[in-house]
Structure 1
């Protein structure tokens, strides 16, 4: 079996692994109580109530810059083996730009409503980047692209579900938190498949920056105290995850196709 003919099977196998993980996680979540939004979440370290959290507002410029950079790179002819991959990349960078706007608004006046408009585009970022990683490692046939399109709706629906449960019930973050877990699970699965482009280390650097940013977010107040109230962990999250997206754009601008041995021997 040639590499080309194997790719649709690899794609289906990867989608089955992802689906099995999601089903398993959702089944486990049924055993836990609903997770409402903690009101203390809005009390970021660098926010001085009732003033504007200027640091967290301004650091969203990294998302705006990375989103713009991505569209510039795509417009200047970044390599994609299919128009579907290019579309996923455009969705990713557009959603990233929208996340910068939504997050800036949220940090200007943090509450559950403004947080909804922050998380809605961010959910599209999460599902589109995981879909893009799978698509770039496999051959996306018609059935595969249909599965990916379905996956793209999962993110916004998870955020809408959280918002509705906050409005009419006790609130439930579990489906939304599962999206973040997917960004930890999918890349290792994708990297098990044969690469189709060069410069794959760029994605590994991007994943490292993403994880570093979310570690900073978990240590928001601690980092703020350690730096003498100069920079907070959430500030670092914005900069690090924005840099991660910029690294994805840079990788796309530099990469070249990797020729399979079958293609080379067939010349």
Structure 2
């Protein structure tokens, strides 16, 4: 009986903290938008240390370093379509990983296109696939921890939000939404992975993926 009561209290505590945590994040984001000025994309962002032109390819190393994303993206995309390779238990997770690796392929092409001639017009094709990859990665975790219905809703909402954030930056030259999106999602992954139990083994890889996501974000940019 005591075990049942403690388990019930623990579940209620987690549910309440999840709700209040989401409310706190929402309030902080709204305060950032309402009480801070627009943050335009700095022209200095398009000035890279390596501007060498080798074999007729501008900014050669910045362009060539996107090739590993293409290789990993294509392999992961093919293997994710075959859900049995990753031993994925639900169709929703399969599509989550398919979108994630599709986003990585988009990063390879979009970042290459941007780095060939960096400017504010091309950077959208670098930013959007990156945010799609972030969205689907978090969605895969939500599929795993909360089920297919919650995961599907989250993936749809996150993908739409990522597109709207990029459009807002493109139209108003204001990077605040994209900055919040790219910061909150990688932080949410280890938080959820820590608080909620996985149905799979090797759950620690979520923490490793978060570190690599931050590394990739800085590496691509």
TM beyond 0.5: yes
For 2:167, the equivalent position in structure 1 comes to 160
Q: Which runs of 4+ in 1 moved over 4 A?
A: 9-16
Report how many residues are paired.
208
For 2:110 and 2:142, locate their aligned partners in 1 and report how far apart those are by CA, in whole Å: 27
For 1:21, the equivalent position in structure 2 comes to 25
For 1:71, the equivalent position in structure 2 comes to 77
- Pairing 1:226-265 to 2, within 5 Å after superposition: 237-238=219-220
- Pairing 1:62-141 to 2, within 5 Å after superposition: 62-76=68-82, 77=84, 78-141=86-149
Deviation, 1:152, is 1.8
1:199 to 1:147, Cα distance in 2 relative to 1, 3 A: closer
Q: Which runs of 5+ in 1 are unaligned?
A: 166-170, 218-236, 242-267
1:12 to 1:129, Cα distance in 2 relative to 1, 3 A: farther
For 1:38, the equivalent position in structure 2 comes to 42
TM-score by length of 1: 0.69
For 2:175, the equivalent position in structure 1 comes to 173
Higher relative contact order (CA 8 A, sep 6+): 1
Alignment RMSD, CA only?
2.9
For 2:69 and 2:151, locate their aligned partners in 1 and report how far apart those are by CA, in whole Å: 29
Q: Which runs of 5+ in 2 are unaligned?
A: none
1:97 to 1:152, Cα distance in 2 relative to 1, 3 A: same
Deviations 1:143-189 (A, max 9, x none): 66334412221011100110011xxxxx2100000111123321232
For 1:248, the equivalent position in structure 2 comes to none
